[in-house]
Amino acid sequence: SFHPTTVASYAPVIAPAYQGIGLAKKMFDVIIAHFNRHTTVRKLLLWGGVKADNEKAIRFYEKIGFANKHSFEYKGLNYDLMYAW
């Protein structure tokens, strides 16, 4: 379920110049640790930043424990994916 006391949404962005150096992993380690220690949030949804054709991002999210929960299509084309941890 997507109850606001147990679910948070997040749209992460790392500038291209800073991609590939481990910042995203560190960022998610901090975010997930914070939610686990200090909130009732048990699901983290990624919105608007997981493009269906962004294979690098999809591999990263799946590697750190996220799973594809939904896709958004328009006129038969897949634009965005909703990933949840």
Q: What is the pTM of this model?
A: 0.75
CATH superfamily of 7-84: Gcn5-related N-acetyltransferase (GNAT) (3.40.630.30)
Q: Measure the CA–CA gap between 7 and 16, rounded to whole angstroms.
A: 28
**Residue predicted with more confidence, 5 or 34:** 34
Q: Measure the CA–CA gap between 8 and 23, rounded to whole angstroms.
A: 21
Q: What percent of the chain shows pLDDT beyond 90?
A: 19
Asked whether 55 and 81 are in contact (CB, 8 A), the reply is no
Confidence of residue 35 (pLDDT cuts 50, 70, 90): confident
Domain parsing of the chain, residue ranges: 7-84
